[in-house]
Amino acid sequence: MAESQPTFSESWYRVANQKISLRQGVNARRQIFRSQRWIVLENAFNQQFFRLRPEAWAFVGRLRPDRTVEQVWKECIEKFPDAAPGQEAVIQLLGQLYKANLLLYDQAADTTKLFERFEKTRQRETQARLLNIMFARFPLFDPDALLNLALPYIRWLISPAGVLLWLAVVGAALNVAFQHVDDLQVQGQSALSPDNLPLLYLGLVLIKTLHEFGHAAFCKRYGGEVHVMGVMLMIFTPIPYMDASAAWGFRHRWQRVLVGTAGMVVELFVAALATFVWARTGPGTAHNLAYNMMLVASVSTVVFNLNPLLRYDGYYILADLLGLPNLGQNSNQQLRHIAERHLFGVKHSESPASGRREMAWFTAYGITSNIYRIIVFSSMVLIVADEYLLVGLVMAAVCVISWLIVPVGKLIHYLATSPKLDRCRPRAVTVCSLLAAVIVAFLVVVPLPYHFRAPGVLEAGQWSQTINATTGRIEAVLAPPGATVKRGQPLLQLSNRELEMEMKGARDSVIELDARIRQAMDREIANLKPLRAKLEATRKRIANMEADLAALTVRARNDGIWIGPQVTQMIGRWTPRGTTLGMVVNPASFEFTATVLQEDVNRLFTRHYPHAEVRMHGQAGEVLQVSHFRVVPAEQVSLPSPALGWGAGGEVPVAMDDPHGNKAAEPFFSVRGQVFSSTGKVAALHGRTGKIRFDLPAEPLLPRWMDELRQLLQKRYHL
């Protein structure tokens, strides 16, 4: 929190006799932030804004070309003795207004100084573009005249009638999307394919152009001006952008918030129209372009525009709702203040926050936004590198420079030259050196617990599926489900009237053939051989039918518990041959079969794993101990149970060409081990899924991360 400034200053003589005033074209507007009144100065020349408290405005608003700074200050002291700013506060205020090019001096050299400040500002902007090249902006033209021509239509669309139209169209499009959700997922698999990239980029340009015109239209609707439209590089991809910062001068908060949400509103409306086109067209250019516009609108809205942790629409909306302009800049200043005050011992370091609430917001936002930015951009680098390795490597190099090399260079420059550290520079250097040493030692030397998890399925040591070996109708359940049965014990009784009648006919055929053979022995010896062959075939058919009749009694294949949860409901149902009716599970021992990816199984091959435990889904609080491991030394693609795959709600990706969900998308290794429960509280059921945790020897983080990075490069990019 800023400390109160002294009334008098030793440097007052430098500005006391200066005749200073605000430049022509600087507009002042009142605004309410967090129930407090502020004055916002707008520089119409460059669309920049400067916020003042009413006490500071009482001084700035009295500045005239024919009055000195001291005359104005003394007048404020006389009229507002309790609220007038002190000399030190006036000096700082004038310095800030000077840097913002808002002041007019009576000196002839003012034009030269103004040009010099303009050149410095442009150099800083150019430097910022180079440092943030993946999101650099290049202005091209002034769209204000075009917006003036479209203003009558804009006023009609931004009205209650327009709101009703938007709700109706977007609601209908959502209904269509839910009806075709499977088709949307399938088409999304080829979104980054080379054939689709031109249409994806075209859809991106169309959506973002309309997005930016949405901001500009809402800004124009409420009296603002938009004078800049250009191209922004987003991850090296040129897309349009507009500068609608004039909305910051609006007096009402809801107008500023509407301008911030306008782009997303337009995106969703256009995506809704594209949904109708996509649903009503077959494969082709129009169909694919409509899908890409839907994809761009949904992904960009959630990941970028709506998320306040990146400096897009959501950021400005959050800052306005909280009444905290320059939220990102102040958050970084707050983090610097914390370091200066508590680590470096800078006593005069000032926080940009005016209270504990703002301090908490700035600190939390500064930490979370930087972490989220790294996560999002790293994920985008991996996604792009999957399709275009060279582009991904360039992006990764830019990220390393922006996030590591440049900050370290700035830190070194700050430690060496910052005036704030004049009295505590040795302490600051020592603290930074110690922190760097501690971080390096922590990453390289300190061993930390090391484990990984893998999904799997619980299987009994001895079990068999109960199926009917012949077609028939279920007549009775001979052993109740859940009962303990012996091998060969009858479980179900089936019937097949057609088979019984066919058996009776076959036996009658045997009697007939015996009679014909005896007759042929006396009169037609030439017919004996075919008659005997037919008799033999009939007897074999009878033997097969007898086996089928015997199979109508379904028996247990092994000792265990008879599990048939639905067999009682199947009485009277006709079941084809091979229908699964249940299983017989021997509960004496269970085995857990885990699906371990190649990068994880290497750790099991090369290191001793002293301990592992299994937790079943639905009973995560109970632990099953594992013993007698064995790794099957061969890659597999068939899952031990479909319940592990995506199709059944599991977490293992399955191949798109397998409709049954039994084939994994990438090879894995099976790790099997016997399990037992020390408490007996875990319900051990055959086919139940869970996760196994392997505890490996403790290891520092940096070697672990290097192994994972090397495996990632080998697996995904074959480097």
Opening angle at CA 587, ends 583 and 591, nearest 5? 95
| From 95-99, 165-169, 443-447, 574-578, the region with the lowest mean pLDDT | 95-99
Residue 212 tokens read as 């930016």
Per-residue pLDDT, averaged over 470-488, amounts to: 88
* Element of type H or E holding 92: helix 87-99
Indicate the residue type of 113: K
Residue 208 clears pLDDT 50, i.e. is over it:
yes
Phi, psi of 132 (to 5 degrees): -120, 50
* Mean of pLDDT over the chain: 80
Q: What is the mean pLDDT of residues 192-202?
A: 78
The pLDDT assigned to 2 comes to 41
- Tokens representing 270 are 């256009």
Higher pLDDT, 391 or 636: 636
pLDDT of 120 higher than 60: no
Q: Given a cut of 50, is residue 329 above it in pLDDT?
A: yes
The answer on pLDDT for 283 being more than 80 is yes
> What's residue 304's pLDDT?
74
Q: pLDDT band at residue 164, thresholds of 50, 70 and 90?
A: very high
CA distance 313 to 307: 8
At 462, list the tokens: 């001895």
Average pLDDT, integer, range 192-212: 82
Note the pLDDT of residue 434.
Answer: 94
Q: Residues 224-246: pLDDT tens digits?
A: 888 888 887 765 667 787 877 77
Read off the pLDDT band of 168 (50, 70, 90).
Answer: very high
Measure the CA–CA gap between 122 and 140, rounded to whole angstroms. 16
Q: Which one-letter DSSP state was computed for residue 68?
A: B
Give per-residue pLDDT as tens, 644-691.
Answer: 887 777 788 887 777 777 888 888 888 888 887 655 555 567 778 888
- pLDDT, tens digit (0-9, with 9 covering 90-100), for 344-353: 888 888 888 8
Find which of 306-310, 397-401, 469-473 is predicted with most confidence, using mean pLDDT.
469-473
- List, for residues 243-268, the tens digit of each pLDDT value: 777 777 777 788 888 888 888 889 88
Q: In whole angstroms, give the CA distance from residue 161 to residue 633.
A: 67
- The set of residues, in sequence order, having a beta carbon less than 8 Å from that of 269 and lying 6+ positions away, is 166, 169, 170
Phi, psi of 26 (to 5 degrees): -85, 120
Q: Are 654 and 586 in contact (CB under 8 A)?
A: no
Quick one: pLDDT band at residue 115, thresholds 50, 70, 90?
very low
Q: Give dist(CA 277, CA 176) in Å, integer.
A: 11
pLDDT at 3: 43
Residue 596 phi, psi dihedral angles, 5° rounding = -110, 130
**Phi/psi of residue 43, nearest 5 degrees:** -90, 105
31 pLDDT above the threshold of 60: yes
Give me the pLDDT at residue 437, please: 92
